[in-house]
Amino acid sequence: MIDSISGVPARMGVAVLGLVLVAGAAVARPTEPATSAGKGGLIPREAIFGNPDRSGTQMSHDGKYISYLAAVDGVMNIWVAPSDDLSKAKAITAEKTRGIRNYFWAFDNAHVLYTQDNGGDENWRVYAVDVTSGASKDLTPMKGVAAQINTVSEKFPNEVLVGLNNRIPQLHDVYRINIATGEKTLAFQNEGYVGITFDDNFVPRFGQKMLPDGSMAIDKIGQDGKGELFDSIPADDTLTTGMSGFDKTGNIVYVNDSRGRDTGALFARDLTTGKTTLIAEDSRADVGGTLVHPTQKTIQAVEFNYTRAEWKVLDKSIQADLDYLKTVADGEINIQSRTQDDKHWLVSFMMDNGPVRVYRYDRDEAGKPGKATFLFTNRKSLEGLALAKMHPQVITARDGMKLVSYLSLPTVADKDGNGKPDTGPVPMVLLVHGGPWARDEWGYNPYAQWLTNRGYAVLMVNFRGSTGFGKTYVNAGNREWAGKMHNDLIDAVDWAVKEKIADKSKVAIMGGSYGGYATLVGLTFTPDVFACGVDIVGPSNINTLLSTIPAYWAPMKKMFSTRVGDYDTEDGKKFLESKSPLTIVDKIKKPLLIGQGANDPRVKQAEADQIVAAMQAKNIPVTYVLFPDEGHGFARPVNSMAFNAVVEGFLAKNLGGAAQPIGDDLGKSTAQIKVGADFVPGLAEAVQKAQSSGK
């Protein structure tokens, strides 16, 4: 897991818990005339959902190498080049089936580390690759174990701290592993902590544990490995409060904290004196990314994101750099890597209507602006295309809650780019994010571009329960699955109809994970609102969802009880049953398309199987696509494109937009059409074609 702004591994085990139901990479998100699509006709699915030319660009800590992910025989692998000559790039990994998604440089500058699972089962292994020889070593060769990278430090360039749940499936002990040899020694035996925070000396400093009331205790870990209470985080603050690292001395801990306030602000706490100092705050949004000096570990800038990302500079020594970078290219600035001497940065620029632009920035030692050199865009196929703008919208819910949302329109329907259709309402897709403890943000979104190009407006809504907007906002979603969280989505649709953006009779709901659940809720609890729905890896029964969580989520059990519902009591089970689409499946009367990964450890295949079976028992039409080599989301581009090909035909039939024919996309994937091929134009023929070719 890489911190997107500092380029160093994010610390594991902070008090802010990991997202629960976020779908994995590339969840989805007879041909109509091209005039109903975006300007210039249909953009091929391959251009949007195929492998990017390059992604995940990083620089080694000494600045000698630049690395990135790029395809080898269609599978994303790690490439490394001298930083001054990208033409000499070579692949140093050899993954054959499932592309690499997460990697980072070891501090020895001789190895790159990455994580990989098997078919989406999330039993991650950690691999180290020698940059020169390409030799790869599995540092965690254990079956059925979910490895978690905890900490790396420049003080121990040849080692990494990794959490392993090999002793007790529910808990991760932390091991110190030699990158070159794979030799490991126990650094901390975990007897009940959700996470353990180490400092740069590889010393365990704090442990976080959930308490029965949903609150969290922070223990200070002594030299004997035992913990004593250091701090407490009330249940209402657990998603907006947590430790985020230390300064160079290890005596200052940085804390994102919402206690005694609404939004999470950044504080520095002196562990010697106990003094706490406010560093940065925003009344509208929680603290987001931070820009940290690579060796001093001081916070130099802080990001806050309400409708758009805004950076507050704290260290004036980088002000000239950031001011200069604003003149280099349009879009939001993301500093992806910094060398240890801080002379070189890798900087990317995110736009809403174009590919990511990546630059190498060489700083001026005199404190003046340096020089940025353009390297590449991540998708050359998107350059020069007429892509849709993304318009931030703050929509007022029925009870006054302000919903930060994002609207994208087909370019042919919004020629002046003002966020209003030129000639009246258009079909719309309500695209619901996963989590639910996550958020939508401004920027290039492949699903928004794909759907607008096919002729649909796309509305993305940060319903209550979304993160980033303070604890009142996130806590307003407690026990509101299929309740006020769904009301927010309906209110957003009503807004779009009232503003003459959306055709009321042609609104679809689509999403992955929690967004898939929201889709099922939309078609059951509000069956007259949506024309159709697309559910990707969404749970249909909350009781069965929560009773089959991965073992290592068990320490977070009370969080689920507090925020979703208590699945251990009869009253709690009845409450959750009342919020489960499976309970009222007979209410469905609009077309439904379901996509599922067979290896999903979060939302098991049974969640899709049971609602499909219930619909079939009541003779309710449904189309069900299963991928035997995927987990919580579709990571393999061939599978993503196959499912999206089905989605295109499904939406075209029900909303009237454009669709690129399925073609060979189904046959190139592992897709299994379990039921309902006849309900999507061209799907039955594509299945027959794939079967006849032996795939």
| Distance (Å, whole) CA 139 – CA 311 | 37
- The full set of domains in the chain, from first to last, is 54-202 (2.120.10.30), 241-378 (2.130.10.120), 390-692 (3.40.50.1820)
Tokens of 160: 């990494």
Q: CA–CA distance from 343 to each of 47, 62, 128, 227, 374 (Å)?
A: 35, 10, 26, 40, 17
| Distance (Å, whole) CA 403 – CA 649 | 31
Closest CA to 371 of 336, 334, 299, 320: 320
Q: Which of 352, 414, 440, 600 is catalytic?
A: 600
| Distance (Å, whole) CA 497 – CA 479 | 28
Look at residue 257 and give its three-state secondary structure: strand
Which residue is associated with the tokens 């449904």? 622
3-state secondary structure 589-620: CCCEEEEEECCCCCCCHHHHHHHHHHHHHCCC
Tokens of 360: 């190498």
DSSP 16-42: SPPPSB---TT----PPPGGGSSTTSP
DSSP 559-576: HHHHHT--SSSHHHHHHH
What Rg value do the Cα atoms of the chain yield, rounded? 25
Look at residue 509 and give its three-state secondary structure: strand
| Distance (Å, whole) CA 502 – CA 427 | 6
Region of 41 on the Ramachandran plot (φ > 0 left; ψ -120 to 50 alpha; else beta): left
Is residue 632 among the annotated active site residues? yes
Is residue 600 among the annotated active site residues? yes
Q: CA–CA distance from 682 to each of 36, 596, 657 (Å)?
A: 19, 20, 15
- Residues near 226 by beta carbon (within 8 Å), at least 6 away in sequence: none
> Diameter of the chain by CA atoms?
74
Q: Look at residue 555 in the predicted model and tell me its pLDDT.
A: 84
Tokens of 199: 């400092």
Q: Look at residue 265 in the predicted model and tell me its pLDDT.
A: 98
pTM here is 0.94
Look at residue 173 and give its three-state secondary structure: strand
Look at residue 430 and give its three-state secondary structure: strand
Q: Look at residue 40 in the predicted model and tell me its pLDDT.
A: 60
Q: Which of 117, 466, 632, 665 is catalytic?
A: 632
Q: Report CA 290 to chain centroid distance, whole Å.
A: 18
Give the orientation angle of helix 637-655 with respect to helix 683-692, to 10 degrees: 150
| Distance (Å, whole) CA 436 – CA 468 | 12
Phi, psi for residue 225 in degrees, rounded to 5: 85, 0
Q: CA–CA distance from 390 to each of 456, 551, 553, 690 (Å)?
A: 13, 39, 36, 37
Q: How many other C-beta atoms are found inside a 10 Å radius of the C-beta of residue 97?
A: 11
What's the helix, strand, coil split of the chain in %, to 5? 20, 30, 45
**Beta carbons of 15 and 214 less than 8 angstroms apart:** no
Which segments in the chain show pLDDT lower than 50?
1-20, 22-39
CA dihedral 231, 208, 11, 465 (to 10 degrees): -90
Q: Look at residue 39 in the predicted model and tell me its pLDDT.
A: 46
Q: Which of 258, 337, 513, 580 is catalytic?
A: 513
